[in-house]
Structure formats: C-alpha cells, structure tokens
Chains A and B, each alone.
Chain A
C-alpha cells in the first residue's frame, strides 16, 4: 500500500557474475526468501467471508423494513468505498478498495442504523468511520478504534433523535411490538418488557437497527466466522459471557428493575457486536488472556451502561473504551521461549 515503504530487494545481495555461457537470459527466476508456501488466506477473502456471514441478518432487515433498509445499506457501503477511494487519492496511496475492508465497514455501519436514517447521516457516518476512524491513522491495520462503532458513537451523541428507534420506526407496523426493547427496559424496568418473548426477539421480531435484530442470523454468521477462523472466538465468547454474568448479577439483585441475562443477549446491538464488531482485528488484542479480559470487560461495561448509565444501549461506548485499553491489555502475554529476563 504505502508507496514510501520499501522492501529490501534481495537481488542486490546476489551480484553473481554470469559464467562464460551467461545466465540464460530468456529464463529469469524469482528470487525470494522462504517460506515459498502460503496457506492461501488473504485480506479480501476474509472480508468477503464476513460479508457473507452478515447476509442473513441483513436480508432479514431488508425483508422487514423494505426498500429504505436496502437503500441505507447500499448507500452506506457505496459511501464507505468512495471515502476510502478519496482518502487513497488524497494521501497518495495505492487504491485499497479491493481488499474489501471499506465494504465491510460500510456494511456493518449500515447494519447499525435504523431503516429510516436519512442519507446525510449515512454520508456523515461513513466519513467518520473511514476517514476519522481508519484512514487518518494510516489505513487498514492502524485503526485503534472500531471504525463503525466510532461513527455510531459520534452520531448518537450528535443526533440523539435518529437513534431513538421508537420514534424512528413510528411509521412501521410489522407483526410485532414496534417499541425498542432496551428503551422499554430503561423506562419501565422489567415490567416494560413482559410482552417480548425471548424466542421472538431472537428470531428478529423486535424493533431496532436494520442488521442488528435478527439474533439467529447473526449467530449463524458468527459461528461460521468462528469456525473458519476469521474472528477470534475468545473475544466473542468472553464478551457474551461478560454480558451474561453481569446481567445475571443485576437481575438477582433487583429483578423488577433489571432484565435477565438472556434478554440482554438478544436485544440491542449485543449479537452484532459480539460477532462482527468487537472481534475487529486492529482494535482488539491477539494474546489469549488479554482477549478474555477485553471481551469480559466490554460485556460488563455494556450492561453497566444499559442498567445504570445514561444511554439505552452501551455497546458503542463500552467497546470503544476497551479499544483504548487494548494496547495496554495486549502487553499481558506469555514469555517467549528462550527469552532471557534481564535483572536490571
């Protein structure tokens, strides 16, 4: 990508003078260090797999909210790619749209929006995700925060009303209660969520963002990514565990005010966060213990914000906060074999 980065060309290391017969000029061999095998994985494959895994949830959203939902998703993906392209040109780098990373960011950001989000919100959000969230840090691999979540957090703070799902989806009348479960919980305690069946919630029968409500679809996609090794299972599962345990403790303390753990797992952004947002590569740890701490703490924070914080859903904030702690967390790691610890 970066034009300024130079690989050391090994040819310079081999000034072998051709013998009398010369190197057969018509045959040039490629000089390289090992390994000469590769397992075939690449960034674009990984990103295309993420898109495929997200499809069930997206399609459900589109089938529920119709053309506007499709519009938001399509616009979001397109805008993200355009911003990426613009930044590539501005920063004088080679075009990186082909790696699929901007497409995934756009898709995930679209999935976090209500179907009624106006076009300028999408435009602004993708700008925040791609330009502020990723490109100014140096592009793919350098973003310290999760780009779609950063964009979401900025918009939630700036334009509260758009993410008030009750208001946003006022004009929709689907075959289930058109109120946002987490908003009900916040307003009325567990009394307000009596009408929601857990199974129905899991099947996507709840108001919410386009791609975040169909729990079953997200879970299937997530498990697919887990098994394929495209996301780090440690983070996803510990995040869910963190939410479960914290919600359980709250629920045991005051079951009239605080919902049970299962409710928290299937509402709001929980599942999309667990499988698509929190395991984002660049902003999460890679060592085993840090991954567990990262996931659990993000889960705990989420429920804390939901239950006693100001926001209806704490996901964007809890994960962004942990993103900030990531470099520090990832310092906890096993001692390399052969490492000599010097006593200063």
Chain B
C-alpha cells in the first residue's frame, strides 16, 4: 500500500501497473457456479433444471421473455439452481454445474458475424462485451473505445491481452466494425504498449499511467476530449467501452467457432505479489486462490476487482464472473480501516478529486441522507468513483461507500418520481 508521502503538500500519486505479469492457465475445476441475472419479470430459470447435462460453451437462458443468459464453462451436470442476491439487491439465479469428464463443445454458436449472434452468445464471454447498447433505440453509438488498460491498480489483464494477443484483437476489431457498421474504433493503451496496439487496425491513443486516468469518463475527457455530463451515461454520449480482453475474446470466438470460457484475472496475495491466471468462468474464488498457493485467514479481505474500487466479499465459495478482473487478498493489518468520525474539513479530498467535487460538503449531505441536495448542490452524479477521496481522507470516512449508496438511493428516488409523476 502506498503511504502518504512525507511531503504531504504534493498530491498522492498512484500508478497503474503497466507491465503485465506472466499468464498461467489453471486446470478446469470440478465445479463451477454461474450467476444468471434474473429477467425483469423475475422469472427463475425454468429452462434450466437440476440433473440437466450441459456442454462447454452451451447457452443457458432464463425462461422466455428475458434475454439474459450464461455460457457454461465446463461439461457436466447441473447440480443446483438457487436464488442469489448481489450488491444493491440485484437478483440472480446461481447455477451450479458439476464437471463430468472431458470438455465436449456445444455447437449452438454459429460463426456468422451478426449483431444478433453477438447478442445471443457473446455477452457472457470474458470481459462482458456490451452488445446490448447497439439495439437500444435511445442511444446512437458513434464510436467504440477499446480500453487496453485495467481500470484499477495492480491489475494487468487488459495490458496482458494487448501485449500477447494482437492477432485476436485484430480479428475482434474487424468483427466489431463489421457487425456494428462503425468505423471509429479507438484503442487506448499505455505508452509501452503502443507498438503492439498499432497492429490491431484500431486507431491507437495513449493514456497516462497515473490513477485514475483509465476510468472511462476520464478517458473520454483526457484522451478523446469529450466531457460526458453528469446526468448522462457514456453510451448516451455516443461512445461504448469494450475491454481489450472482450475484443480479443470476440476475435477468438469467431476464429475457432468456440466461445471462450476462460477468464484472465490478476491474483494479488498479501505480500503484494501479482500473478495473472486464466480460469474457467464460474470457478470458485477458493479454487483459484488454492491453485495460486495464496492462503487466506480469518478477518482477511477477499477483494473482487482491484484495491481502489473492488468489493471485499465474504465467501471463498463465490464464483469468478466474466467481469472479474482480479482477486486481491489483503490481511487485516494492511486494509484500510474506516471510522465513523465526521469530516474535519481538512480538504485533502478536494485537492485530490479528479473531477473537482467539493467532497467535504458532499459527504456531509450524504451522511445526512440528503441525496437530492447532494446531487444538485454538490455534484454527486459527477463522481467517477475513483475512490481517491476515501484513500486520502484524514477522518477515514468511507466516502466512496457513501457516494455509491447515495447514487443508488438517488436513482430510486428518481425512478419513483418518474413512476408516480
């Protein structure tokens, strides 16, 4: 963990890890759990039953009326279907599959490059390519940005893909252009990967390696020179972000005719050493950590994602998802402890905020649960959720936590207003 510099008058500098680690492919696990988002009608996966046998790469959908699905990452038998509630109350169906022998590949996926096929099969491949936005009539997408850098510190998944999988990326870019009909595909990479990226056929732009420069909104502003306003999403502003890993996976899928089912992720142990591994989507965190000889203890933190924006979760039984870019294990002594002290107005957060939010005031309104005022007066929705304010907070207020809760509550208020008004 980077400590406050002795000369505290300068802003803290946190840098991305731009030199990717080696990749090790882990053996297929005995069991995977896939989290299938429930459809809006709450329909549980009645198309999926315990005892069904599934093949690797098979699409498992919910009941008719929902477009959500998962892709089985092993061949075997479904041994469990159970409800699961995620962060902020999002409801999933957890499908557990016990492995049974060799991988047999499902042949449902056709190599025909069309948006329809992409939406039907490619949204659960590593990196979760967001194809759904292209059929959203409210949004006109004009350009695609491929992020060749991981969004959080320590992680090097996308850097690794850019360095090692130029061929797949090239094919992925071609296919993206073909099925979306868009010509403007931009790849943003750190300085040291410009050469590899330049062979992919995408327009290459450089991004700085200082946190939080690779967060999408920061890329929009610093690299593309377009400020996305607080009230709109990046997609509404006409741009969609793909991770480099997703694009490479698209390329691989169309090359081989088999859906990629292995996710690359960075595993960081308590000693701070990082390592990239490729695991089947749905492997339990415990399996991955055991394969990496990373031990965990009571009161550790098991962080899904990176150290700044990741979520410390509660069980080693939880699965790796197609969007899990890292697992960070942190001992209790190293982890940031929060207090319930009030803001002392030291102003560290105001100095460090990349979008110039007066966090000292914002946090007061959030603590008082005045979410609408927090947004109107103190720019709640401008926040890019980098977490730097929490990182420097002298009072050790969990500022980012308050912000996320505030945004969530605000969205509830706004939805209910839209419904009732």
Contacts and interface: CB of A to CB of B under 8 A. Distances in A.
Interface of A: 1-2, 5, 7-8, 10-11, 13-21, 23-24, 26-43, 46, 99, 138-142, 226-230, 232-233, 281-282, 284, 286-287, 330, 333-340
Nearest to B350: A286
Contact of A18 (B2, B87, B307, B317): B317
A150 B1 CA distance: 40
6 contacts: A14-B85, A20-B80, A21-B317, A27-B296, A281-B344, A330-B358
A5 B382 contact: no
A281 B347 contact: yes
Contacts, number: 241
B95 to A, nearest CB: 12
Top 7 A-B pairs, shortest CB-CB distance:
A229-B8, A286-B347, A38-B336, A35-B387, A336-B379, A39-B4, A337-B355
A28 B396 CA distance: 23
A34 B303 contact: yes
A142 B347 CA distance: 14
A41 B404 contact: no
A338 B395 contact: no
A17 B81 CA distance: 12
Contacts of B228: 338
A30 B230 contact: no
Q: Is the interface of A mostly helix, strand, loop or mixed?
A: loop
Contact of A142 (B313, B342, B355, B358): B342
B400 A18 contact: no
A37 B388 CA distance: 9
Contact of A2 (B2, B306, B340): B340
Interface stretch (B168-176, B242-250, B327-335): B327-335
A141 B395 CA distance: 10
B308 interface: yes
A30 B396 contact: no
B360 A286 contact: yes
Interface in B115-152: none
Interface string B295-309: 011111111011111
A141 B227 contact: no
Interface in B254-313: 296-303, 305-313
B213 interface: no
Contacts of A334: 356
Contacts of B338: 7, 32
Contact of A43 (B305, B311, B341): B341
On chain B, which size bracket covers the interface?
35 or more
A334 B357 CA distance: 8
A226 B9 contact: yes
B59 to A, nearest CB: 24
B230 A340 contact: yes
Nearest to B284: A19
B17 interface: no
B29 interface: no
Contacts of A17: 82-84
B179 interface: no
Interface in B71-91: 80, 82-89
Contacts of A7: 338, 340, 398, 401
Given A16-B84, A229-B8, A336-B356, A36 B344 contact: no
B100 interface: no
A14 B92 CA distance: 12
B186 interface: no
Given A16-B84, A37-B308, A286-B345, A29 B391 contact: no
Contacts of B330: 36
Contacts of A33: 311-312, 398, 400-401, 404
Contact of A40 (B4, B309, B310): B4
Most buried by B among A27, A34, A140: A34
B268 to A, nearest CB: 11
